[in-house]
Amino acid sequence: QVQLKESGPGLVQPSQTLSLTCTVSGFSLTSYNVHWVRQPTGKGLEWMGVIWTGGSTDYNSALKSRLSISRDTSKSQVFLKMNSLQTEDIATYYCARELNSSYMPFDYWGQGVMVTVSS
Amino acid sequence: DIRMTQSPASLSASLGETVNIECLASEDIYSDLAWYQQKPGKSPQLLIYNANSLQNGVPSRFSGSGSGTQYSLKINSLQSEDVATYFCQQYNNYPNTFGAGTKLELK
């Protein structure tokens, strides 16, 4: 069945780089777009970026200068890297699969990984 | 960016009651509107897409409607398992944007 699972360090020091991995199963990264979305505790959802089936990416302009999304299709993994982390980046980070084609919502989500920024 | 204004921010309703949640887009999103349910400590679950299409496996007491800039989610015959926070999302334009959420509690 379709599954997505985020992994990575739960604690990042201020100004350092966050590296997260989304490992997917039950579908191919060359057939479905995968997005990253984050949610500060008790708050709303913020779309961060997407890696398209062809491997190109798009980012939220608010994060574009700090964010990079890539993938390894052979390992069914999508990677998120965001530099210069600050306390405003404290959130749960989710990867999510886009429903069946472009410009659609997200039908499967990972369980999320909570990231704290602290020295 | 398209701004999504969701109302109410919180809602208290009784079992069996009908509940409505509204979402207003800052511009026409041509029915590219989804609704999600999120329970505490869990990831969001897709309920409705394309404004009124029920996602597979979602109970039929959930329905969506609207067009242009105005959309709504209706829950008929409220059940205890419907206690959650509900978010709308527009995917007509990037960046995708979400409403701030409606927290639904039992009265």
pLDDT 10s digits, A36-75: 999 999 899 999 999 999 999 999 999 999 999 999 999 9
Q: Range with the lowest mean pLDDT among A92-101, B1-10, B15-24?
A: A92-101
pLDDT mean over B33-59: 97
A31 pLDDT higher than 90: yes
Encoded tokens for B95: 């960046």
DSSP string, B48-68: EETTTEEPTT--TTEEEEEET
Portion 35-74 of B in contact with A at CB < 8 A: 36, 42-46, 49, 55
Q: Using a CB-CB distance cutoff of 8 angstroms, which residues of chain B are in contact with residue A109?
A: 43-45
CB A76 within 8 A of CB A24: yes
Q: How confident is the model at residue B48 (pLDDT cuts 50, 70, 90)?
A: very high
A101 pLDDT higher than 80: no
